[in-house]
């Protein structure tokens, strides 16, 4: 059976993260059978990370504030998590299912992280990689590097 997505519910969660007037800075989308649905949202990135376990596959849309002394700005990234214990068939399927999520999550910043598999604007993270790559500070640093001018570097 083909995977479907609850567009309305997922778009609502996505819009909460994009909204500058909310504190929400992440939303997760998980599989329920053959349907992708919101798995929660929140303000604490550690809460998002706790959902990235060895037996799940999910997508996370995350807002991270970056910038330097001259300007602060919100950057968005879409994280694709595939746990170590996810079957080969489910691993393969996520690469095609990401197009369903990308129809909802349209504004992301590409972060070129060499040790992560990069699919367009998506990270494919696996818990067998260095766990630090899922740390908020690590992602913030990579977003900052990808963002261009960094006036803080003048003081280094």
Contact (CB, 8 A) for 24 and 43: yes
Pairing of strands 26-32, 117-119: unpaired
CATH number of domain containing 137: 3.40.20.10
Asked whether residue 44 is domain-assigned, the answer is: yes
Mean pLDDT of the chain: 80
Going across the sheet that includes 35-42, the strands are: 4-5, 35-42, 26-32, 57-67, 72-82, 122-126, 117-119
Give the pLDDT confidence of 77-104 residue by residue, as tens digits.
Answer: 888 888 888 898 998 898 889 889 999 9
The answer to whether residue 96 sits within a structural domain is yes
Q: Give the pLDDT mean for 130-155.
A: 68
pLDDT for residue 106: 81
pLDDT at res. 126: 47
Is residue 13 in a domain?
A: yes
pTM summary value: 0.79
In a domain, 154, yes or no: no
Residue 29, domain member (yes or no): yes
155, part of any domain: no
Q: 133 is written with which tokens? A: 């790559």
For the segment 35-82, what is each residue's pLDDT rounded down to a tens digit?
A: 999 999 999 999 999 998 889 999 999 998 876 677 778 888 888 888
Instruction: Kindly state whether residue 135 falls inside one of the protein's structural domains.
Output: yes
Is the pLDDT higher at 143 or at 129?
A: 143
Judge whether residue 4 has pLDDT over 80. Answer: yes
Q: How confident is the model at residue 17 (pLDDT cuts 50, 70, 90)?
A: very high
| Choice among 5-9, 11-15, 86-90 with the minimum mean pLDDT | 86-90
Full domain range(s) for residue 56? 4-148
| Residue 70 in domain | yes
What six digits make up the tokens of 145? 């590097």
How many independent structural domains does the chain possess?
1
């Amino acid at each position: 059976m083909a995977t479907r997505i609850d567009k309305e519910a997922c778009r609502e969660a996505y819009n909460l993260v994009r909204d500058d007037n909310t504190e929400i800075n992440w939303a997760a989308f998980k599989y329920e059978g053959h349907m992708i649905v919101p798995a929660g949202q929140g303000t604490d990135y550690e809460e998002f990370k706790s959902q990235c376990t060895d037996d799940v596959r999910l997508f996370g849309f995350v807002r991270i504030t970056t910038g330097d002394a001259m300007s602060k700005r919100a950057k968005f990234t879409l994280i694709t998590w595939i746990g170590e214990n996810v079957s080969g068939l489910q691993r393969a399927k996520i690469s095609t299912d990401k197009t369903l999520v990308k129809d909802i999550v349209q504004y992301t910043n590409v972060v070129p992280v060499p040790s992560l598999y990069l699919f367009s604007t998506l990270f494919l993270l696996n818990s067998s990689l260095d766990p630090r790559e899922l740390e908020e500070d690590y992602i913030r640093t990579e977003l900052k590097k990808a963002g261009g001018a960094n006036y803080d570097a003048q003081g280094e």
